[in-house]
Structure 1
Amino acid sequence: MNTSGLSPQEQAKKRAGYKAADYITNGMTVGLGTGSTVAFTMARLKERMTEEGLLIVGIPTSIQTTMRAGALGIPLIGLEQAEKIDITVDGADQIDPEMRLIKGRGAAHVRERIVADASTRLIIVADPSKICSHLTGPIPIEIIPFSFSHVIRRLNEMGGMVTVREGVKKDGPVISDNGNIILDYTPVSIPDPSALETAINMIPGVVSCGIFAEFTSKTTVIIGEESGPRIIGLP
């Protein structure tokens, strides 16, 4: 694996992403997460398709991933066409010691949650900076536009700080692939991620928040450390 020319962080992402591709076997349906670390997994899958004749189909979690898979020649199907998803490979923004996650910096966490829930196994790939002693936020939250003022009011009542995610090189808020608005919520603390996940998701108008606390029993985390990939959870 050639990592020359990459920054140390990108090298770490490549180690994790390439290792995740080793878990994929012939004939699998693979959920393809969104983000720069999963991009390395997809690149390695393309290499294996060329070198080994690996046959897979992917289910993308975003328009970005769809475009990336198309450029690599990875065949895709829709979620409705899949009888099952064998493995989903995805990234995370924070990972605590119990493998609970915060996701959604790429505004794709709603589709990522659906695909993760439909998967037999979830592999999370990350560089070491994503490991933390406890989740802190900010927590991405996708909301329907009509609920904007109501959701912000409810989050303010819960304490902490709420901001509307603004676009880069675009005036106004970030709009998800689903046509919704993305908020970023930093609570005072997160002593119980599962409880906070439920509380946020129960606010009318919230589509889904970026806390992923329900998938730990089927999760493997791969951290791309300098000495090699470190595996946490299921081998």
Structure 2
Amino acid sequence: MDQNQLKKLVGEKSVEFVEDHMILGLGTGTTVRYMVDALGKRVKEEGLDIVGVTTSDRTAEQARKLGIPLKSVDEVDHIDLTIDGADEISSDFQGIKGGGAALLFEKIVATNSDKVMWIVDETKLSPKLGSFPLPVEVIPYGSQKVFERFEKKGLNPKFRRDAQTNELVRTDSNNYVIDLYLHEIDEPHSLAEYLINQVGVVEQGLFLDMVNTVIVGRENGPEIIPVKR
């Protein structure tokens, strides 16, 4: 099975956890696209009654086309379950997210959710975080100063640029993303605390102590891993 087939498997498996009348957080990314497709199919074929809260304009556009009713995070009093992807998951189930530049909205939705589920193929699993660059969302004004502070601290920063245009990537909030090439993160909680306290930083991509269930796409089928919190 190739990577896309594994992503499709976990996307389809995850919607089996969705029940009638749920308010559901809908993540962002390639694996989530398969999940939203499968969710739209259940809404159409079963009359599944749900409300989606999306984490990006891309997911919102896909969900609308599939007939999934949507509300903003400020229009709901709770979110039952958020299903999202992850760019890297460590052996103790901490995560890096933000490869799709949606980390701010993803974290807002996740932290307002009763339960969080991550759906990934097995390439996303690592003993420790850090092999995937850590995204940090920063406001444009003063972003070069933030970049220089990260350089001085040895965090190996790079502004994220569009592969086609070489323009600086803009998030849905019109901010920039600085990726930190760290290779291995020994103390993710300390790093998260440092980053979020830097003036000009809007959010950082360490998603810590947050996930309740992980579904991993493997050659022999999806593996469902409950995470004790």
Q: Structure 2: how far apart are the matches of 1:122 and 1:153?
A: 35
Structure 1 residues 94 and 195: alpha-carbon distance in aligned structure 2, compared to 1, 3 A threshold: same
Q: Of residues 41, 44, 51 in structure 1, which corresponds to 2:45?
A: 51
Q: Structure 2: how far apart are the matches of 1:98 and 1:64?
A: 30
Query: Do structure 1's residue 193 and structure 2's residue 188 form an aligned pair?
Result: yes
Q: Structure 2: how far apart are the matches of 1:157 and 1:230?
A: 42
Q: Of residues 214, 222, 228 in structure 2, which corresponds to 1:229?
A: 222
Give the TM-score normalised by structure 2: 0.95
Which residue in the other structure is 1:104 paired with? 98
Q: Is the 8 A contact 1:194 1:214 kept in 2?
A: no
Q: What SS is found at the alignment partner of 2:195?
A: helix
Q: Which amino acid aligns with 2:85?
A: G
Q: Of residues 193, 200, 208 in structure 2, which corresponds to 1:213?
A: 208
Which residue in the other structure is 1:168 paired with? 163
Which residue in the other structure is 1:117 paired with? 111
Q: Is the 8 A contact 1:159 1:188 kept in 2?
A: no
Residues 30-179 of structure 1 aligned to structure 2 (within 5 Å): 30-136=24-130, 137-179=132-174
Q: Which amino acid aligns with 2:145?
A: H
Q: Of residues 10, 18, 27 in structure 1, which corresponds to 2:12?
A: 18
Deviations 1:162-216 (A, max 9, x none): 1111113334200000010111111363111111111111111000111111314
Q: What SS is found at the alignment partner of 1:80?
A: helix
Q: Which amino acid aligns with 2:125?
A: I
CA RMSD of aligned residues (A): 1.4
What fraction of aligned residue pairs are identical, expressed as a percent?
A: 37
Structure 1 unaligned blocks of 5 or more: 1-6
Q: Which amino acid aligns with 1:47?
A: K
Q: What SS is found at the alignment partner of 1:26?
A: coil
Q: Which amino acid aligns with 2:62?
A: R
**Greater alpha carbon shift after TM alignment, 102-111 vs 154-163:** 154-163
Q: Structure 2: how far apart are the matches of 1:228 and 1:188?
A: 30
Give the TM-score normalised by structure 1: 0.93
Q: Structure 2: how far apart are the matches of 1:169 and 1:127?
A: 26
How many residues align? The count is: 227
CA displacement at 1:234 relative to structure 2: 4.2
Q: Is the 8 A contact 2:160 2:179 kept in 1?
A: yes
Q: Which amino acid aligns with 2:49?
A: L
Q: Structure 2: how far apart are the matches of 1:85 and 1:41?
A: 17
Q: Is the 8 A contact 2:24 2:82 kept in 1?
A: yes
Q: Which amino acid aligns with 1:37?
A: T
Q: Is the 8 A contact 2:87 2:96 kept in 1?
A: yes
Q: What SS is found at the alignment partner of 2:217?
A: strand
Which residue in the other structure is 2:177 paired with? 182
Q: Structure 1: how far apart are the matches of 2:121 and 2:209?
A: 22
Q: Structure 1: how far apart are the matches of 2:183 and 2:147?
A: 15
